[in-house]
């Protein structure tokens, strides 16, 4: 990315939720997203990872204005979509589409698959009825479903099939950016591989920019170009995928990587890097938000909050000791490399190899 062309940016993005408002005094708020700065380049796959409750889903919704930010801006193609009028935003949605986590609740049970996929085109007045029907059939076969199922209802399909319907629907209006909120985490591992590969192929084919929210590092490693790691509403590290996995600079990133399971006795030495739960997001810790769980924390971390600064490989990190710590990455020694992660990558590769040779009659089923 020598001349970065950013399609979607977030600047100082904040979203708070009021949890309890006493009759007198200040309301308690959760800072789900607390000052996030992001720049997503055109055509890249950008992943946002973090634990449950770190604010990644909120961030995804803010990026397409399914929620309005408390503060800050979301810039899409030079326009601040956090503050444009409702009608203008609706027109823009043609270019910004969203894929949901749960394929079982994200499709209207009263609409046929065909109607669901056609809807975005109808809303944005794309094509004639006949053209739209043709497009529905084309999209269905593009995501690996038979065009004949257009008359059936979502409940008649498996999770993986529904998620493909969801993807076809998201593609129908010809978007430029596709944002997936954990698009595969509700699916079986073998189905995940198919759906991930579909997303990657479609990205190439339609020149999409993908933003993927995930907590599964195997998926991220496989798909993403750049990764942002979130902790308690903030980005703690952002780097190209290889740099992040091979040489993490933030202790939290290292802990996430180390947490990829190893199904082998003694494969990992006493490396319990992360203990306890994230702190209560209503009463955030002082200083670095990660310090109560960080094995490297010092007094400096307890009092002073590190800001996001440049790290190597064109990334950013928010840790006082980013330059001093030596943290293990994925390939920092064969004994720390996760066999499970390897097995997962292997499944993905196999699924791809199969599908590429699938011009011959396929025999496997979902």
Partner 1 sequence: MSAVTDTPAETVAVLPPKQSRVWAKLRRNRSAMFGAGLVSVFVIVALLAPVLPIPGPAETDWGAVRKAPSAAHWLGTDEIGRDILSRMIWGAQASLLAGVVSVAIALAIGIPLGVLAGYCRGWTDAVISRLTEALLAAPFLILAIALAAFLGPSLTNAMIAIGLSAVPIFIRLARAQTMLVVTEDYVEGAHAVGLTHPAIIWRYVLPNIVPPLLVQATLTIATAIIAEASLSFLGLGQQPPAPSWGSMLNTAKAFLEQAPWMAMWPGIAIFLVVLGFNLFGDGLRDALDPRDH
Binding site residues, partner 1, CB under 8 A: 64, 66, 90-91, 93-94, 97-98, 100-102, 105-112, 119-120, 123-124, 141-146, 148-149, 151-153, 155, 161, 166, 169, 173, 194, 197-198, 201, 351, 354-356, 358-359, 361-366
Provide the minimum distance between the beta carbon of 274 and partner 1 in the complex, in angstroms, as a whole number. 30
Q: Which is nearer to partner 1, 90 or 309 (CB)?
A: 90
Residue (73 or 123) nearer to partner 1, CB:
123
* Residue tagged 């999209």 (tokens): 139
- Specify the residue, 148 or 331, whose C-beta has the smaller distance to partner 1: 148
Residue 175: other Cβ atoms inside 10 A: 19
Euclidean distance between CA atoms 16 and 344, whole angstroms:
36
Two tokens at 337? 């490399």
Q: Which helix (H) or strand (E) holds 347?
A: helix 339-356
**Which residue has tokens 């699924």?**
351
Q: Which is nearer to partner 1, 155 or 269 (CB)?
A: 155
Shortest distance in whole angstroms from residue 184 CB to partner 1: 14
Closest to partner 1 by CB, 26 or 155? 155
Could you tell me the smallest distance in angstroms from the CB atom of residue 117 to partner 1? 11
* Alpha helix stretches (DSSP H) within 124-249: 129-142, 159-172, 189-206, 217-223, 241-246
Neighbour-count burial of 192, counting CB atoms closer than 10 A to its CB (0-12 exposed, 13-18 middle, 19+ buried): buried
Cβ proximity to partner 1, 333 vs 361, nearer residue: 361
Q: Are strands 226-231 and 45-49 parallel, antiparallel or unpaired?
A: parallel
Q: Tell me whether residue 1 or residue 350 sits nearer to partner 1 (CB atom).
A: 350
The SS3 call for residue 281 is coil
Residue 323 Cα distances to 266, 314, 316, angstroms: 30, 14, 12
Q: Torsion angle of alpha carbons 158, 194, 166, 215, nearest 10°?
A: 100
Alpha helices in 207-320 (DSSP H): 217-223, 241-246, 251-258, 299-303
Q: Reduce the secondary structure of 45-74 to three states and give it as a string.
A: EEEEECCCCCCHHHHHHHHCCCCCCCEEEE
Structure tokens at 13: 């993005």
CB of 157 to partner 1, least distance (A): 9
Nearest-approach distance from CB 149 to partner 1, in angstroms: 6
User: At closest approach, how far in Å is the CB of 201 from partner 1?
Assistant: 5
* Residue closer to partner 1 (CB basis): 223 or 254: 223
> In whole angstroms, how close is the CB of 120 to partner 1 at the nearest point?
5
Q: In the bound complex, what is the minimum distance in angstroms from residue 202's beta carbon to partner 1? A: 8
């Amino acid at each position: 990315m020598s001349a970065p062309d950013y399609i979607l940016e977030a600047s100082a993005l904040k979203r708070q939720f009021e949890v309890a408002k006493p009759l007198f005094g200040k309301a308690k708020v959760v800072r789900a997203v607390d000052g996030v700065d992001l720049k997503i380049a055109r055509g890249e796959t950008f992943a946002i990872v973090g634990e449950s409750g770190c604010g990644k889903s909120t961030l995804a919704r803010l990026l397409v204005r399914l929620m309005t930010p408390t503060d800050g801006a979301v810039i899409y193609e030079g326009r601040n979509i956090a503050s444009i009028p409702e009608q203008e935003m609706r027109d823009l949605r043609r270019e910004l589409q969203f894929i949901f986590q749960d394929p079982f609740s994200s499709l209207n049970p009263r609409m046929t698959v065909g109607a669901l996929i056609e809807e975005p085109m109808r809303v944005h007045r794309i094509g004639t009825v006949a053209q739209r029907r043709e497009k529905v059939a084309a999209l269905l076969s593009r995501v690996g479903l038979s065009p004949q199922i257009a008359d059936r209802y979502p409940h008649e399909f498996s999770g993986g099939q529904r998620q493909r319907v969801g993807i076809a629907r998201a593609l129908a209006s010809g978007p430029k950016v596709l944002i997936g909120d954990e698009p595969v985490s509700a699916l079986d591992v073998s189905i995940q591989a198919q759906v991930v590969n579909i997303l990657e192929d479609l990205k190439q084919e339609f020149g999409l920019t993908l933003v993927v929210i995930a907590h599964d590092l195997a998926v991220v490693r496989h798909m993403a170009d750049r990764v942002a790691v979130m902790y308690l509403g903030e980005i703690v590290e952002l780097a190209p995928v290889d740099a992040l996995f091979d040489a993490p600079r933030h202790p939290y990133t290292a802990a996430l990587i180390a947490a990829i399971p190893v199904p082998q006795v003694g494969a990992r030495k006493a490396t319990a890097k992360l203990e306890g739960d994230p702190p209560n997001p209503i009463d955030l810790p002082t200083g670095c938000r990660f310090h109560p769980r960080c094995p490297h924390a010092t007094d400096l971390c307890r009092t002073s909050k590190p800001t996001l600064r440049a790290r190597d490989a064109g990334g950013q990190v928010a840790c006082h000791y980013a330059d001093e710590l030596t943290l293990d990455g994925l390939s920092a020694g064969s004994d720390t490399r996760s066999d499970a992660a390897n097995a997962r990558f292997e499944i993905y590769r196999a699924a791809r190899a199969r599908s590429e040779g699938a011009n011959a009659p396929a025999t496997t089923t979902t």
